[in-house]
Each structure stands twice: as structure tokens, then as C-alpha cells.
């Protein structure tokens, strides 16, 4: 997966802060739902740091100030005009923001990214808190752990409540950086891992991911809305179960036009029926294949379940690469294989067929891990990619 120059700048800034360099923290600003938080998450992962995201709009003032406690201080009795004895002094407890962040920093030697989200929602009181945090890395008497890097984000459109942040003091302690949505960066790093219906739809209908903000109750499509939609889709056990409700879900998260286009796409996608394609061991003719199908065929990997299916997939790749103009279809198949590799390395389950396919590409195949018939076992031992170098070139596009 590639990184944009903006991602590189963010990661370098956070790394410098974690190393004690007194650089100004960055504040990303832009339209809502375009991936500002996602790109910050990506930088945190690249650094091996924990991510503590604090939404300014959802916490009360005590989260920043702590709460008062009291102790008796006899030395203050002399200041009482009424002659009171046992005057009590106020001692503020450690603010939750400092405590939670510092505890995370103590557990992770790579540090913590403190993400101040929705900075545009800060009121005047919170702005004063933000200024002290950015200026002195402390709140009240309590300081941040040295292995904490600060970054902020905010919306800049009036429809989403942004566009009015004008605290000169706070802005002077930040490097303000506009965040412009780049579809290819977002897709390569996040979008391609979404539910297949959604990731394939967005790859072929990019215009629906940056819809203008609606001024009515109708929602508008954004990177955030499609990510949330994908999570909803994943709750259903089968495509048939999901089909009953997916349009209702889509209409609640994106515009009516986008939902209608998604419906058309899903029907087209399902007609390809990759389960049947794998069962019948179909080898397509690229010369007769529509360009859209070349994109969608990457999802054949999702139907590679058994060792025999893995053998078919290897033969499929070899045959496709013997045909003219194979780059698009092989690129998308390679991308989906890499997705399965990521799932496996993160501890999630993939099918034996997908695991074998990944291991064959990585030259780590171990036949003793799988249960299979003697013929399939022998064929898999002998199976290889006819043009291994070109296969690896396709897969390597997705590897950091």
C-alpha cells in the first residue's frame, strides 16, 4: 500500500514529537467523513503507537479539569476575616485526559498518539484548556507523559458545525493542514477491506464517496458512511439474509441516488456467482470480458475455500497471465489475496484454500497443515506460478 505525501508528513511529525522534538502539532481540517481520523489511525499503526482519540464534542469540562478535593491547611487560617479555624484548601484531581493518556504511554514503549477530534466544537472554556495543553503539554498541575504526541482534527464546513473556529491563541500552537480526500490513497489503505459489495461499488463508482453535504434529512455519502455501512453488512450471516435489508441500511447512510446505484451494482455482482465459478473451475476469456468484470473478478478469492479451490486459483492465475491485457484482473485478484493475508496475520480466520493460496505466493506452503485427498495433495506440491515474478509485482503494490 502506498502512502500519500500528507500521510508521510503526519507520521514524521508524530515521530518527532515522540522523540522529544518541539515541533508544532498538526491539525487536519476538511469536510466531515472524508477519512481524517483514518489517516491518523494509519500513522499511529505505522509508529507502533497506541491511539487515544478524544472527541471534544462528547466530553464534559471535568474531563479536562479534574474534580475538586479538599484538605485542611492551618496555615491559611490567618487569612479568614471571620476567624475561622481549620480552613480547607482545594486540590484538583488529575484530569481524566492526562490520566488515561499517561497510563497508555506507560504500557506502550512506542508511545501514544493523543488525537483531539472535533476541535471545531470547542467552546471558549475548552479553548483555554486546549491552549494550555498545546503550549505546556499539561492541564493544571499535571503533565503529559513525554512519549505522547498530539494531533488534532476538525471540520471546516458550516453544515457540519465547523467553519467557525477562530481561536487565534489555539491556532498559533498548531500547524493547520487542509486534508483533501484522495480516493486512491483511501481505497488502497482502507476501502478495499470493506464488504465486497461496497468496495467493488466504490472502485467503479467513485463519484458517490464525496457527495455534497445535504441540507435536508437525506444523508450524503462519505468515506465514513460507507465504512459504517460495511460494518452493518458484516452483521448478516449470508448474502440472502443481507439482501432483505441492505437497501434500507444504504438509504439511511447515503443519498437516494447512491443507494439506487448500489442496488444495481449488487445485482450485477451477484449474477457473476463466484461460488459456482469456483465449483465449475471456470477460466474466463479476457478478450470477451467487460472491463467491470475484470475489476469484480478479484472477489473470486472470497470463494476459495478448500485445498482443491486453491489449486484452481493457481491454475486460474497462470491461465489469465497467458492472455493479453491481464494486468487489471490479476491486480485485483492479487489485492484480494493480500487482504486475506492481512486478516490471517491479524489473527482472524481465513479458509484453508485462501491460506494455501497465500502460502504459495509467499513460498511458505506446508502440506502437513491441511487435510486433503492424495491427488490434490500431490498436485498442490507440484503447483507453481508460471510467472512468479509478475505475480509478486502485482501483490507487492499492496505491501507497505
Query: pLDDT for 207-227, tens place per residue?
Result: 999 888 777 888 989 999 999
**Which of these, 339, 286, 292, lies nearest to 316 by C-alpha position?**
286
Q: Is the pLDDT of residue 94 over 90?
A: no
d(CA 41, CA 35): 10
d(CA 370, CA 311): 13
**Residue scoring higher pLDDT (349 or 189):** 349
Phi and psi (nearest 5°) for 274? Answer: -65, -25
What is the number of other CB atoms lying within 10 angstroms of the CB of residue 325? 12
What is the number of other CB atoms lying within 10 angstroms of the CB of residue 212? 11
CB contact at 8 A, 386 and 322? yes
| Mean pLDDT on 93-108 | 93
d(CA 396, CA 400): 8
Task: Give pLDDT, residue 399.
Answer: 56
- Where residue 400 falls among pLDDT bands split at 50, 70, 90? very low
Residues 223-255 have pLDDT tens digits of 999 999 999 999 998 889 999 999 999 999 999
- Where residue 7 falls among pLDDT bands split at 50, 70, 90? confident
Task: Give pLDDT, residue 166.
Answer: 67
Average pLDDT of the chain is 89
Highest-confidence segment of 54-68, 107-121, 168-182: 107-121
Worst-scoring range by mean pLDDT, 4-13, 70-79, 114-123? 70-79
Task: Give pLDDT, residue 93.
Answer: 81
Single pTM value for the model = 0.73
- Where residue 162 falls among pLDDT bands split at 50, 70, 90? low
d(CA 49, CA 23): 18
Q: What would the grid cell of residue 255 be?
A: 443519498
CB contact at 8 A, 166 and 50? no
Q: Cβ contacts of residue 163 below 8 Å, gap of 6+?
A: 120, 155, 156, 157
Give me the percent of the chain exceeding a pLDDT of 70: 96
Q: Is the pLDDT of residue 197 over 50?
A: yes
Q: Cβ contacts of residue 230 below 8 Å, gap of 6+?
A: 194, 195, 198, 199
Evaluate the CA torsion angle 114, 120, 124, 125 in order and state its sign. Answer: negative
**Which of these, 15, 128, 17, lies nearest to 64 by C-alpha position?**
128
Residues 278-325 have pLDDT tens digits of 999 999 999 999 989 998 999 999 999 999 999 999 999 999 999 999
Q: Is the pLDDT of residue 180 over 70?
A: yes
Highest-confidence segment of 24-38, 128-142, 300-314: 300-314
Domains of the chain: 5-57+97-181 (3.40.50.300), 185-396 (no CATH)
Q: What would the grid cell of residue 90 be?
A: 482545594
CB contact at 8 A, 230 and 221? no
Q: What would the grid cell of residue 63 be?
A: 474531563
What is the number of other CB atoms lying within 10 angstroms of the CB of residue 362? 11
Cα dist. 334→108, 185, 257, 317, 346 in Å?
34, 17, 31, 10, 19
| Mean pLDDT on 374-387 | 92
**Which of these, 333, 340, 329, 47, lies nearest to 193 by C-alpha position?**
340
Task: Give pLDDT, residue 165.
Answer: 66
Task: Give pLDDT, residue 226.
Answer: 95
Amino acid at each position: 500500500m502506498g502512502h500519500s505525501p500528507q500521510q508521510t508528513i503526519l507520521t514524521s511529525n508524530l515521530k518527532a514529537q515522540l522523540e522529544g522534538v518541539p515541533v508544532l502539532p498538526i491539525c487536519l481540517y476538511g469536510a466531515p467523513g472524508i477519512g481524517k481520523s483514518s489517516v491518523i489511525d494509519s500513522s499511529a499503526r505505522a509508529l507502533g503507537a497506541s491511539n487515544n482519540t478524544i472527541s471534544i464534542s462528547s466530553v464534559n469540562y471535568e474531563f479536562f479539569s479534574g474534580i475538586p478535593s479538599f484538605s485542611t491547611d492551618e496555615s491559611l487560617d490567618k487569612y479568614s476575616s471571620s476567624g475561622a479555624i481549620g480552613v480547607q484548601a482545594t486540590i484538583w484531581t488529575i484530569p481524566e485526559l492526562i490520566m488515561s493518556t499517561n497510563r497508555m504511554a506507560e504500557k506502550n514503549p512506542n508511545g501514544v498518539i493523543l488525537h483531539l477530534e472535533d476541535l471545531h466544537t470547542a467552546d471558549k472554556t475548552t479553548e483555554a484548556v486546549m491552549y494550555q495543553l498545546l503550549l505546556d503539554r499539561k492541564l493544571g498541575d499535571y503533565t503529559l507523559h513525554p512519549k505522547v504526541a498530539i494531533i488534532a482534527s476538525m471540520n471546516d464546513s458550516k453544515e457540519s458545525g465547523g467553519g467557525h473556529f477562530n481561536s487565534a491563541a489555539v491556532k498559533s500552537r498548531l500547524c493547520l493542514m487542509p486534508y483533501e480526500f484522495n480516493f486512491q490513497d483511501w481505497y488502497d489503505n482502507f476501502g478495499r477491506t470493506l464488504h465486497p459489495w461496497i468496495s467493488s461499488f466504490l472502485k467503479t463508482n467513485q463519484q458517490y464517496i464525496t457527495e455534497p453535504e445535504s441540507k435536508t434529512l437525506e444523508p450524503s455519502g462519505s468515506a465514513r458512511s460507507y465504512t459504517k455501512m460495511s460494518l452493518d453488512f458484516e452483521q448478516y450471516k449470508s448474502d440472502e439474509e443481507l439482501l432483505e435489508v441492505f437497501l434500507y441500511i444504504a438509504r439511511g447512510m447515503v443519498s437516494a441516488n447512491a443507494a439506487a446505484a448500489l442496488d444495481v451494482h449488487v445485482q450485477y455482482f451477484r449474477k457473476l456467482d463466484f461460488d459456482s465459478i469456483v465449483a465449475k473451475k471456470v477460466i474466463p476469456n479476457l478478450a470477451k470480458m467487460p472491463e467491470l468484470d475484470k475489476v469484480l473478478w478479484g472477489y473470486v478469492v472470497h470463494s476459495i475455500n478448500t485445498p482443491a479451490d486453491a489449486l484452481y486459483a493457481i491454475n486460474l492465475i497462470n491461465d489469465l497471465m497467458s492472455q493479453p491485457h491481464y494486468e487489471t484482473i490479476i491486480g485485483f485478484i492479487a489485492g484480494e489475496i493480500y487482504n486475506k493475508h492481512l486478516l490471517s496475520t491479524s489473527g482472524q480466520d481465513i479458509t484453508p484454500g485462501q491460506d494455501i493460496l497465500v502460502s504459495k505466493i509467499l513460498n511458505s506452503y506446508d502440506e502437513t497443515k491441511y487435510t486433503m485427498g492424495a491427488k490434490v495433495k500431490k498436485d498442490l506440491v507440484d503447483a507453481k506460478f508460471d510467472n512468479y515474478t509478475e505475480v509478486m509485482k502485482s501483490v507487492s503494490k499492496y505491501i507497505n
